[in-house]
């Protein structure tokens, strides 16, 4: 058997949140190309339908389920729809999340808590719902959390987002210990990746500075993250759990320069 077969996902069903565009959409399409059927959740149906069309063009099935991950009942519905349509769940990708860089002085405690809920609590709930379904339907599976280099490389203006992603990375390791050996749990610590969210703050000058501060001399593409996701969710990584894979161009610090509270740039 070719070693490349270990990167196939034939017969697998993957549930992916935040899959309407960006990293989530790229992961859905890469999984489909590797042979998986996908259940994709996001708030905007038209985005999901566009991704589903691309998946179906590859000969795989796609179930688009409008989902607001902040409404936990909708996470349960996403899992239920996957089971009703396909009868099993093999892979869950907790991709939905985010929070803009913002000074602490301008970030209320409620906003801080909301960042935690969006990035961590949603992944916790989806994992809690789906891990038993994986074991009951196929004997096991894998969970992938999309974390960030901001979770372990502190920088000004990322207190809310960085703390949340740091917690998500630790949650990944905690769940890996609790769910082993049936369900593997890993994460990707992404770096600056070209998505709609990043594009809202990019100017040519900011982008050039970020590129200059990145050892690999470019920003990430969503396909870079999708390739890491494919490895971690494929049989190739069957002996890998509790790991935080860095896909970030070699960054040792964030490449978005932000002001300190009382002068200077971090």
Confidence category of residue 211, pLDDT binned at 50, 70, 90: very high
Stretch 53-77: mean pLDDT: 98
Under the banding of pLDDT at 50, 70 and 90, the label for residue 39 is very high
Residue range 205-210: mean pLDDT, rounded: 88
For residue 41, what pLDDT band results from cuts at 50, 70 and 90?
A: very high
Mean pLDDT of 86-110: 96
When divided into structural domains, the chain yields a total of 1
What mean pLDDT is predicted for residues 12-30?
98
Does residue 250 belong to any structural domain of this protein? no
Domain contains 155: yes
CB 23 within 8 A of CB 42: no
Among the listed residues 124, 161, 231, 239, the single catalytic one is 161
* pTM attached to this predicted model: 0.95
Task: Please give the span between the terminal C-alpha atoms of the chain, in angstroms, as a whole number.
Answer: 51
Q: For position 161, what pLDDT does the model report?
A: 96
Report pLDDT for 195: 83
Is residue 231 annotated as part of the catalytic site, yes or no? Answer: no
Q: Which residues pair with 37 in a beta bridge?
A: 13
pLDDT of 264 over the 80 cut: no
State the burial class of residue 135 (Cβ atoms within 10 Å of its Cβ: 0-12, 13-18, 19+): middle
Q: Assess if residue 253 is contained within a domain.
A: no
Q: What is the pLDDT of residue 55?
A: 98
Q: What's the rounded Cα separation, in Å, for the pair 149 and 59?
A: 35
Judge whether residue 150 has pLDDT over 80.
yes
Give a yes or no: residue 78 inside a domain. yes
Give the pLDDT band of residue 255 (cuts 50, 70, 90): confident
Range of the domain at 147: 3-245
Would 262 be classed as within a structural domain? no
CATH number, domain containing residue 136: 3.40.50.720
The predicted structure's pLDDT at residue 197 = 75
pLDDT grade for 177, boundaries at 50, 70 and 90: very high
Query: Is residue 171 one of the residues assigned to a domain?
Result: yes
Q: Predicted confidence band at 253 (pLDDT cuts at 50, 70, 90)?
A: confident
- More confident of the two residues 193 and 36: 36
Q: What is the mean pLDDT of the chain?
A: 95
pLDDT of 70: 98
Is residue 252 situated within a structural domain? no
Angle between helices 159-179 and 122-138 (to 10 degrees): 20
Which of these ranges, 53-57, 76-80, 151-155, 239-243, has the smallest mean pLDDT? 151-155
Query: Does 263 reside within a domain?
Result: no
User: Is residue 192's pLDDT more than 90?
Assistant: no
**Structure tokens of 12?**
């697998």
What is the rounded distance in angstroms from the CA atom of residue 45 to the CA atom of residue 51?
A: 10
Confidence of residue 198 (pLDDT cuts 50, 70, 90): confident
């Amino acid at each position: 058997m070719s070693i490349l077969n270990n990167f196939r996902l034939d017969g697998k069903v993957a549930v992916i949140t935040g899959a309407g565009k960006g990293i989530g959409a790229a992961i859905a399409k890469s999984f489909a190309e590797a042979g998986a059927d996908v259940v994709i959740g996001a708030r905007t149906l038209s985005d999901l339908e566009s991704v589903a069309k691309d998946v179906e063009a590859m000969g795989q099935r796609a179930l688009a389920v409008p989902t607001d991950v902040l409404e936990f009942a909708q996470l349960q519905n996403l899992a239920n729809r996957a089971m009703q349509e396909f009868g099993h769940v093999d892979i869950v990708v907790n991709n939905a999340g985010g929070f803009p860089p913002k000074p602490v002085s301008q970030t209320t405690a409620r906003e801080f808590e909301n960042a935690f809920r969006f990035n961590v609590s949603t992944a916790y709930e989806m994992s809690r719902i789906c891990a038993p379904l994986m074991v009951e339907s196929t004997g096991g599976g894998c969970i992938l959390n999309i974390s960030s280099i901001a979770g372990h490389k502190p920088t000004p203006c990322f207190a809310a987002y960085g703390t949340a992603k740091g917690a998500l990375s630790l949650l990944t390791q905690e769940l890996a210990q609790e769910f082993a050996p049936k369900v593997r749990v890993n994460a990707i610590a992404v770096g600056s990746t070209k998505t709609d969210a990043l594009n809202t703050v990019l100017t040519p000058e900011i982008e050039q500075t970020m590129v200059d501060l990145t050892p690999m001399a470019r920003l990430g593409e969503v396909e870079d993250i999708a390739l890491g996701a494919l490895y971690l969710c494929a049989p190739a990584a069957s002996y890998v759990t509790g790991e935080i894979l860095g896909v970030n161009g070699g960054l040792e610090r964030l490449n978005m320069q932000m002001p300190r509270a009382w002068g200077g740039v971090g």
